[in-house]
Amino acid sequence: MSKPQHYDFLILGSGESGKYLAWTMAKAGHRVAVVERRWVGGSCPNIACLPSKNVIYSGHVASLFRRGQEFGLAAGPVSVDMAAVRARKRKMVDELIAVHRKNYADSGAELIMGEGRFVAPRTIEVQLQQGGTRLLSGERVYLNLGTRAAIPDVPGLRQSSPLTHVEALELDHVPEHLIVLGGGYVGLEFAQPMRRFGSRVTVVEHGPQLAGREDPDVARLLLRRFADEGIDVVLNARPVKVEGRSGDSVRFQVHTATGERIIEGSDILVAAGRTPNTQAIGLDAAGVNLDERGYVQVNERLETSAPGVWAMGDCAGSPQFTHVAFDDFRVVRDNLAGGDRTTRDRLVPYGMFTDPELGRVGLNEVAAQRAGIAYRVARTPMAAVLRTRTLSETGGFLKALVAVDSDRLLGFTALGASGGEVIAVVQTAMLAGLPYTALRDTIFAHPTIAEGLTVLFANAPVAPTAAVQ
C-alpha cells in the first residue's frame, strides 16, 4: 500500500453532521478532508428535506389556486407545469450547493468528490469522481454516511424500477396515477402535492393507520383530509407482487382485510423506510461494528467500536432528522473541546409537512401509554385559534399532555396551520421546566397560532377517561 495522505480529521460523507464538523475544525486550524460521492452537503439540501418542502409548497400554491374563488379571486382553469416546478426546486438546490462550496472554501476544509472505502483502520481509499484513486488516513475519522430508500422485498418491485424520493423530485411531468408504497413521512409528504398537481394517487400502507408513530386522532384526521382531496388510501395492505414498469404502467397486487386488490397505476414510489449506507465499504477492515439492522454501533458519545472513529447522523441510528444529525455534530464538537455531551435524553421535535401540518415534541398519548406514564390531556380544535379563521385553514387541533402529579408538560402535538412552528414555543417551555400554566398566562401576540396555547390551556387539562382510540 502506498503511503496515505494524513489529515487531523477525515470525514466520510458530507451530510449535516460531517459538513459542520469539517467547517468548524478547519476554521480552528486543523487539516480536514471530507469525502463525498455525490451530494455536496448531503441529502437534506439535495434530495430530501429542502427540495421536498420546495415542491410541497408548489403543491400548496396549486391548491390555493384551485380554491381561488373562496378568496375572492377569479381564477381560470389551473394548469401545472412540472418542468417549471422542478426548475424552481433545482434553482434552490443550486443556490444551496453554492453556499456549501463557499463554506468549504472559506473554512479551508478540503472536499474530495469520490466514493470512499476503508482499506485499513482509519485509512480510506477514494475512487475519485474525475478518475483515479487517493489514499487518505485520519488521526480521527468520522462516519456520516446517511441512508437511502429501502426497497421492500416484494416480488417484482425492484424489477419495476420504482421511483424513490430522489427520482420523484426530478419528475418533469405529473404521473397519471402514482402508487405510493408506505404511509409514513416520505409517502405522505409526496402523496399530497402529487395529488394537488393533478395525479391520481393511491397510498398503500401495511400498518393499520397512516403516520404509524402518531396518535390515532392525528392519523384519522390526516386520512379524512386525504380522502377529501381524492387520495385513495389502502390500510392493512400486504403487498403481494408488482408487475410492469414504473413510468409506463404498473399492476400492484395487495392483500387486504377484505381480500385481494389490484391497483393499476402509471408509477410507483417507494417510501417504506431507510437502509443505512454501511455495506461494502470495508467497515470490518476498519474495526467498526454494525448492529443487527446494519447501523453503526455507537455509544452515547457517538464513539464506534474502533478507536478514533465516530459515527453521526442517520448511519449511527440517530433519529432520522436533519436537526438530530446537527445535534450529533454538536455532541462530537463539544466533547472534542473537553466537554461531556451525550445523545441521552434529547428532546427531539418532529415536523411533518402535510396539510394540515404536524408538529410534535415530547410524548404523545400512545407513547405515554406504552411507557406507563400517567397524563392529563388539554385539547382544543384549531378552529378555536382565531388566526386559522383568517386563513380559512381551520382543520386540526392542538393537544398537550401534562403530568398527573404536577403541572409539568410531557408533550405537545399541533396538527394544523403552522403546526411545525408552534411546537417550538412548547419545546422551549419544556426545556426551561416551565409548568403549562406559564404558557396559559403568557401574553402572545394576536392573532397568531401561538396565541392558541392560551386557549388550549385555559381549562385545566383532564385525565383521559379511556385509552386513545
**410: partner contacted, choices ligand NAD, ligand FAD, none (Cβ within 5-8 A by kind):** none
**What is the CA angle 369-372-378, rounded to 5?**
50
**281: partner contacted, choices ligand FAD, ligand NAD, none (Cβ within 5-8 A by kind):** ligand FAD
For residue 429, what are the CA distances in angstroms to 39, 299, 440? Answer: 37, 29, 11
Among left, alpha and beta (phi > 0; psi -120 to 50; other), residue 86 is alpha
- Compute the Cα dihedral for 134, 145, 315, 100 and give only its sign: positive
Residue with smaller CB distance to ligand NAD, 18 or 317: 317
Residue with smaller CB distance to ligand FAD, 160 or 322: 322
Is 48 a binding residue for ligand FAD by CB under 6 A? The answer is yes
Backbone angles phi, psi at 238, to 5 degrees: -105, 115
Can you tell me the distance from the alpha carbon of 187 to that of 237, in angstroms, rounded to the nearest whole number? Answer: 15
- Which spans in 67-184 are helix H? 82-107, 165-168
Binder of ligand FAD out of 25, 49, 358, 439 (CB under 6 A): 49
Among residue numbers 257 through 286, which ones bind ligand NAD (CB under 6 A)? 271-274
User: Closest approach of Cβ 268 to ligand NAD, in Å?
Assistant: 11
User: Closest approach of Cβ 360 to ligand NAD, in Å?
Assistant: 11
Stated length of the chain: 469
Residue 53's closest CA among 80, 79, 89?
Answer: 89
State the angle between helix axes of 49-66 and 185-197 in degrees (0 to 180), rounded to the nearest 10.
40
**175: partner contacted, choices ligand FAD, ligand NAD, none (Cβ within 5-8 A by kind):** none
In this structure, the dihedral spanned by the alpha carbons of residues 77, 81, 84 and 90, taken in order and rounded to 10 degrees, is 130
C-alpha cell at 425: 414555543
Is 8 a binding residue for ligand FAD by CB under 6 A? The answer is no
**183: partner contacted, choices ligand FAD, ligand NAD, none (Cβ within 5-8 A by kind):** ligand NAD
**Three-state secondary structure readout of 252-292:** EEEEECCEEEEEEECEEEECCCEEECCCCCCCCCCCCCECC
Contact criterion met (CB below 8 Å) for 35 and 117:
no
Task: Give the x-and-dash track for 303-332 against ligand FAD (CB under 6 A).
Answer: ----------xxx----xxxx-x-------
Can you tell me the distance from the alpha carbon of 260 to that of 28, in angstroms, rounded to the nearest whole number? Answer: 61
Task: Give the x-and-dash track for 168-207 against ligand FAD (CB under 6 A).
Answer: ------------------x---------------------
Residue with smaller CB distance to ligand NAD, 357 or 365: 357
Can you tell me the distance from the alpha carbon of 398 to that of 458, in angstroms, rounded to the nearest whole number? Answer: 13
Binder of ligand NAD out of 321, 397, 436, 457 (CB under 6 A): 321
Among residue numbers 204 through 243, which ones bind ligand NAD (CB under 6 A)? 204-207, 212, 239
- Choose, from 6, 30, 177, 446, the residue flagged as catalytic: 446
Give the residue ranges of the annotated binding site for FAD: 53, 116, 314
Is 183 a binding residue for ligand NAD by CB under 6 A? The answer is yes
446 is an active site residue: yes
Catalytic machinery residues: 446
Residues that bind ligand NAD (CB under 6 A): 152, 181-187, 189, 204-207, 212, 239, 271-274, 320-321, 351-353
Interacting residues toward ligand FAD by CB under 6 A: 12-17, 35-39, 42-44, 48-49, 52-53, 115-116, 144-146, 165, 186, 277, 281, 313-315, 320-323, 325
